[in-house]
């Protein structure tokens, strides 16, 4: 498990979205349980991507950690879907050896386009 860099941690700490489970906000598919965790959702070149967009906040139940180890609802594909929908063109240019657009299209067909409108309900 890779630690989050100080630069990225500071960006995350300044963003109120990271206080909530993004999966619950996006899919409304569970009742959150446990603490909010940070999942490195994207792997590139065999390493976890240490960028704010690639780290998604999810509750312990959705992350299968703490008391929910091996009994939560972890779905790595959903976490990747959320991360890829937060990438900018600049982010894609930093990691050019993958077809991000194609990956995002495939996941968006399955889960829809990630919407932040749910954050207004908080």
Each residue's pLDDT tens digit, 28-84: 999 999 999 999 999 999 999 999 999 999 999 999 999 999 899 999 999 999 999
How far apart are alpha carbons 28 and 12 in whole angstroms?
22
Bridge partners for 48 per DSSP:
43
Nearest C-alpha neighbor of 62 from the set 31, 19, 83, 17: 31
pLDDT of residue 114: 87
Task: Give the global pTM.
Answer: 0.91
Burial (0-12, 13-18, 19+ Cβ within 10 Å), 30: middle
Backbone angles phi, psi at 50, to 5 degrees: -95, 70
Q: Confidence band (pLDDT; 50, 70, 90) for 2?
A: low
Q: Between 116 and 40, where is the model more confident?
A: 40
DSSP assigned state of 57? E
What's the rounded mean pLDDT across residues 12-27? 93
Q: The dihedral of CA 51, 113, 32, 78: what is its sign?
A: negative
For the CA atoms of the chain, what is the radius of gyration? 14
């Amino acid at each position: 498990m890779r630690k989050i860099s100080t630069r990225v941690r500071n960006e995350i700490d300044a963003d109120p979205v990271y206080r909530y489970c993004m999966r619950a906000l996006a899919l409304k598919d569970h009742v959150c349980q446990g603490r909010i965790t940070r999942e490195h959702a994207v792997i590139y070149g065999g390493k976890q991507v240490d960028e704010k967009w690639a780290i998604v906040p999810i509750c312990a139940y959705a992350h299968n950690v703490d008391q929910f180890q091996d009994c939560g609802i972890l779905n790595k594909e959903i976490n990747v879907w959320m991360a890829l929908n937060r990438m900018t063109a600049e982010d894609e240019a930093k990691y050019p050896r993958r077809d991000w657009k194609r990956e995002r299209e495939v996941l968006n067909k399955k889960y829809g386009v990630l919407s932040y409108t749910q954050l207004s309900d908080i």
